[in-house]
Homo-oligomer: A and B are copies of this chain.
């Protein structure tokens, strides 16, 4: 299927971050703005591969590009992580509530033998 539904920012960001090399790139240019060539030099894959990663990251809004002559300077764009944080916080909150609910339920019921991890 080549069908691609409506553009989903969260899905895009998550898919982009699922690739270890892309996370490394994001970390690299989170502290410093760098030209594509220097970013590529930091890894052991071809410049082409890094360029494709940069394209992906830029497309999904996780990277900012600025041109200077023939060079293209990149730096990570924190706003792109907003929705992802929202998703995580939401999931986190709900899951914690559910966990609390189960604990209370367990506390009020007659002996329910079970070893639940304490994390």
Q: Which A residues contact B (CB, under 8 angstroms)? A: 8, 11, 14-15, 17-18, 20, 23-24, 26-34, 38, 41-43, 66, 75-79, 81, 84-85, 87-88, 91-92, 94-99, 102, 112, 114-119
**What is the predominant secondary structure among interface residues of chain A facing chain B?**
helix
Is B27's CB under 8 angstroms from A119's CB? yes
Copy total for this chain: 2
Find A92's partner among B32, B81, B116 (CB 8 Å cutoff). Answer: B81
Is A34's CB under 8 angstroms from B92's CB? no
Contacts of A119 in B (CB 8 A): 24, 27, 79
Is A98's CB under 8 angstroms from B33's CB? yes
Is A76's CB under 8 angstroms from B102's CB? no
